[in-house]
Chains A and B, each alone.
Chain A
């Protein structure tokens, strides 16, 4: 399994044809207390860059984009009852949704962990 990062502060784990997407620890830190996550419906089909989910703090609502194209196969229902998971465990239990990867070549342009760390440090 390999993990990729985007400059929109999302992470993607790819295992076979399924990609799991969430937001990074840096992102949750910036957003503050997460109070609500609006997740995509199963079966929704996204092009890379489409609005896929919304993550809300008390004072802000941020769009989460589909980092790659694909069809949603599962959304993390646990976030509906416990949005705080995004704060407490953003890069594991606080995942947002799983996609069936449509075009693996889209992963090529993304960062690995070291590159993302460097990117965050530059902000």
Chain B
């Protein structure tokens, strides 16, 4: 048992210091009937590294990984190239095996990273302040709706039809129990977003309008009129960004008037990992900082006058405010925030703009190639690195059959919106810097054959 350092001799010696005759004496408070007489049934005994690795590798081999196939999936999780040094650095034990920085004198590494991360995120999203992370984009989105309720003391949120349907589901789950009213309908296959309809729907009971940018179909729209309308009615604008690389190319939601901007940070530094762990981004205007959920790191000085960093404004949090806390969140996504921050530092503004430009250009070329496939139409007037194709038949089956041909060809709207067959011919296609011209050609050919 390679992880357990005590020898039998140690155990005997320690028991005698304790004054116990056997280990069972230490479990006396467990009622006899609840004590297992023997090992857990069914589970094999301990195993060597070699044999466990073999078992896990066999499971891994049963998956078709993104790098093995022409790959075009997005819809809230994106495949980007992560520089080698990111994964190397996050595996330094001092980062990997540290705890939440409750003792700041010996956690300045983590704390300085969080301070840098908060600044990077705030600048990227165009906000004054950002927190030290949430679990993922979907939970950050719900937290923003709850925060808007606290700020406005109203409980009706308008959710754009362009919001990721899983984010809508998460909000619905929570709203059932908090009593928030959520207004939402599934998207239509149109080039225009629903911003005009949202503006018309805002009233004096509205706490916030939640809009995704770019939206689930890849569409981009100016949020300024929506922000103005929301503010006019005393409501907040919550913007959701699931592809933060986009903000190297298009305007930041905070600069268009969004009060709270949340997002999924996975694209930068964090791999696909089948959906988790991911990285919830959360930023807002300075004036709402005390209503924010989650941890915040702030600058201060030590007793010798040196600059340092600490967790701060903790009275918002569960460990102090308990049932009056702004959120119940405790452990968040620290290591993913580190990965994001390292990747962003490697990119810098220059690299981010280049990366974003490359994504957009490849997406434009790919869209142009795919619409040459007979029967395929492009929905979007505008997009960043993701767009929606309208196929001549239900896209869900097409995606499955493409997978059988070794092409991972996007996310069907049927998978995302099983209750809306009227948009089932939509296929959401993401194109990042990892896609090669050969991949595009393979996708186009396979699609053409499937649709023939």
Interface residues of A in 8-64 (CB under 8 A from B): 36, 38, 56-61
Is B290 touching A61 in the complex (CB atoms < 8 A)?
A: no
Q: Does B320 contact A (CB under 8 A)?
A: yes
Is A59 touching B314 in the complex (CB atoms < 8 A)?
A: yes
Interface residues of B in 286-344 (CB under 8 A from A): 290, 314-315, 320-321, 324
Is B320 touching A60 in the complex (CB atoms < 8 A)?
A: yes
With a cutoff of 8 Å between Cβ atoms, the chain A residues found around residue B290 in the complex are 36, 38
Alpha-carbon separation in the docked complex, A60 to B315 (Å) = 6
Interface residue tally for chain A (C-beta within 8 Å): 8
Interface residues of B in 247-298 (CB under 8 A from A): 290
With a cutoff of 8 Å between Cβ atoms, the chain A residues found around residue B314 in the complex are 58-59
Chain A 54-78 interface mask (CB, 8 Å, partner B; 1/0) = 0011111100000000000000000
CB distance from A57 to the nearest CB of B (A): 8
In the complex, the chain A residue whose C-beta lies closest to that of B324 is A61
CB distance from A81 to the nearest CB of B (A): 14
Interface residues of B in 22-71 (CB under 8 A from A): none
With a cutoff of 8 Å between Cβ atoms, the chain A residues found around residue B315 in the complex are 36, 56-61
CB distance from A88 to the nearest CB of B (A): 20
CB distance from A63 to the nearest CB of B (A): 9
In the complex, the chain B residue whose C-beta lies closest to that of A61 is B315
Select B320's contact among A36, A38, A61, beta carbons within 8 Å.
Answer: A61
With a cutoff of 8 Å between Cβ atoms, the chain B residues found around residue A60 in the complex are 315, 320
Alpha-carbon separation in the docked complex, A59 to B315 (Å) = 7
With a cutoff of 8 Å between Cβ atoms, the chain B residues found around residue A38 in the complex are 290
With a cutoff of 8 Å between Cβ atoms, the chain B residues found around residue A57 in the complex are 315
CB distance from A83 to the nearest CB of B (A): 12
CB distance from A51 to the nearest CB of B (A): 9
In the complex, the chain A residue whose C-beta lies closest to that of B325 is A61
From B290, B315, B321, name the one whose CB has the most chain A CB atoms within 10 angstroms: B315
With a cutoff of 8 Å between Cβ atoms, the chain A residues found around residue B321 in the complex are 61
With a cutoff of 8 Å between Cβ atoms, the chain B residues found around residue A36 in the complex are 290, 315
With a cutoff of 8 Å between Cβ atoms, the chain B residues found around residue A61 in the complex are 315, 320-321, 324
In the complex, the chain A residue whose C-beta lies closest to that of B310 is A58
CB distance from B2 to the nearest CB of A (A): 41
Alpha-carbon separation in the docked complex, A36 to B313 (Å) = 9
Alpha-carbon separation in the docked complex, A58 to B316 (Å) = 11
With a cutoff of 8 Å between Cβ atoms, the chain A residues found around residue B320 in the complex are 59-61
CB distance from B325 to the nearest CB of A (A): 9
CB distance from A33 to the nearest CB of B (A): 12
CB distance from A45 to the nearest CB of B (A): 15
In the complex, the chain B residue whose C-beta lies closest to that of A56 is B315
In the complex, the chain A residue whose C-beta lies closest to that of B317 is A61
Alpha-carbon separation in the docked complex, A60 to B314 (Å) = 9
CB distance from A14 to the nearest CB of B (A): 30
Alpha-carbon separation in the docked complex, A34 to B151 (Å) = 23
Alpha-carbon separation in the docked complex, A60 to B324 (Å) = 12
With a cutoff of 8 Å between Cβ atoms, the chain A residues found around residue B324 in the complex are 61
From A57, A58, A61, name the one whose CB has the most chain B CB atoms within 10 angstroms: A61
In the complex, the chain B residue whose C-beta lies closest to that of A51 is B324
Alpha-carbon separation in the docked complex, A6 to B290 (Å) = 29
Alpha-carbon separation in the docked complex, A36 to B314 (Å) = 12
CB distance from A80 to the nearest CB of B (A): 11
CB distance from A56 to the nearest CB of B (A): 5
In the complex, the chain A residue whose C-beta lies closest to that of B321 is A61
Alpha-carbon separation in the docked complex, A92 to B321 (Å) = 28
With a cutoff of 8 Å between Cβ atoms, the chain B residues found around residue A59 in the complex are 314-315, 320
Alpha-carbon separation in the docked complex, A61 to B326 (Å) = 13
CB distance from A108 to the nearest CB of B (A): 31
Alpha-carbon separation in the docked complex, A56 to B321 (Å) = 10
Alpha-carbon separation in the docked complex, A61 to B321 (Å) = 7
From A38, A56, A57, A59, name the one whose CB has the most chain B CB atoms within 10 angstroms: A56
In the complex, the chain B residue whose C-beta lies closest to that of A38 is B290
Alpha-carbon separation in the docked complex, A80 to B320 (Å) = 21
CB distance from A52 to the nearest CB of B (A): 15
Alpha-carbon separation in the docked complex, A38 to B290 (Å) = 10
CB distance from B292 to the nearest CB of A (A): 14
Alpha-carbon separation in the docked complex, A61 to B315 (Å) = 6
Alpha-carbon separation in the docked complex, A57 to B321 (Å) = 12
With a cutoff of 8 Å between Cβ atoms, the chain B residues found around residue A58 in the complex are 314-315
CB distance from A43 to the nearest CB of B (A): 14
Chain B 197-232 interface mask (CB, 8 Å, partner A; 1/0) = 000000000000000000000000000000000000
Alpha-carbon separation in the docked complex, A70 to B320 (Å) = 30
Alpha-carbon separation in the docked complex, A64 to B324 (Å) = 14
CB distance from A7 to the nearest CB of B (A): 22
Alpha-carbon separation in the docked complex, A36 to B315 (Å) = 10
A residues neighboring B (CB under 8 Å)? 36, 38, 56-61
A-B contact pairs, 16 of them (CB 8 A): A36-B290, A36-B315, A38-B290, A56-B315, A57-B315, A58-B314, A58-B315, A59-B314, A59-B315, A59-B320, A60-B315, A60-B320, A61-B315, A61-B320, A61-B321, A61-B324
User: Beyond A36-B290, A38-B290, A60-B320: 7 further Cβ-contacts under 8 Å?
Assistant: A36-B315, A58-B315, A59-B314, A59-B315, A59-B320, A60-B315, A61-B315
Closest 9 CB pairs of A and B: A61-B315, A56-B315, A61-B321, A61-B320, A60-B320, A59-B320, A60-B315, A58-B314, A59-B314
